[in-house]
Amino acid sequence: MKALIINCSPVRDGATAEITSIISDELSQKYETKQVCIDDYDIAFCKGCRSCHNTAKCVMTDGVQQLMAEFEAADVIICASPSYWADVPGQFKVFIDRCTPYSNTHEPHARLSKGKKGYAVVLRTGPNMKECERLIQTIEHFYGHLEIECCGHIGLCSIENREAVIPRTSELTEFCKEI
């Protein structure tokens, strides 16, 4: 089985990257893992043309198709996102918007193969879990429209930088036991 772990932050070596590395290391004992960063893909803004509502395909060709191929190849998908002003980073939101051809809110729509399981890992610098819950809802809403089963989530507060992740490794390790 394959697990895809996505750093939904454009920062390749920050706290979110540290979290995805820990998760990848833990899951590599059970799964073939692949880590990617949202910034690895050139993704253009959705034009809002709604052509995909009739064709189940986007009129643009870019990194979205590559990343969706990674989604298709995976059995388990873990999106790890920091909070940018109480929401997911813009780069990740642009990707979500561009997944409209896969959204089950219209027919026809493209489909991922069935049986995929999704997990959300979110972090923020402040101490309030409510903001983490908002990001978890965004990721789980995204999974729902792609018909990826939401199977678990974790929110980490007071993560200012990469070094702040290390003392939280045991929480991430416990979370990974459920995946």
Residues 6+ apart with CB under 8 A from 163: none
What is the rounded end-to-end Cα distance, in angstroms, of the chain?
12
Give the DSSP H or E segment for 169.
Answer: helix 169-177
pLDDT of residue 143: 98
Domains of the chain: 2-177 (3.40.50.360)
Q: For residues 137 and 105, is the Cβ–Cβ distance under 8 A?
A: no
Residue 19: pLDDT band with limits 50, 70, 90: very high
**Whole-angstrom Cα distance, residue 80 to residue 100?**
21
Quick: pLDDT tens for 120-168: 999 999 999 999 999 999 999 999 999 999 999 999 999 999 999 999 9
Give the mean pLDDT of the chain: 97
pTM of the model: 0.97
pLDDT of residue 60: 96
pLDDT of residue 95: 98
How many angstroms separate the Cα of 69 from the Cα of each of 74, 99, 112, 127, 157?
Answer: 9, 12, 9, 36, 32
Instruction: Using alpha carbons, select from 96, 87, 118 the residue that is nearest to residue 5.
Output: 118
Strand order in 32-37's β-sheet?
32-37, 2-7, 76-82, 117-123, 149-156
The rounded radius of gyration (Å) of the Cα atoms in the chain is: 16
pLDDT of residue 158: 97
Quick: pLDDT tens for 49-98: 999 999 999 999 999 999 999 999 999 999 999 999 999 999 999 999 99
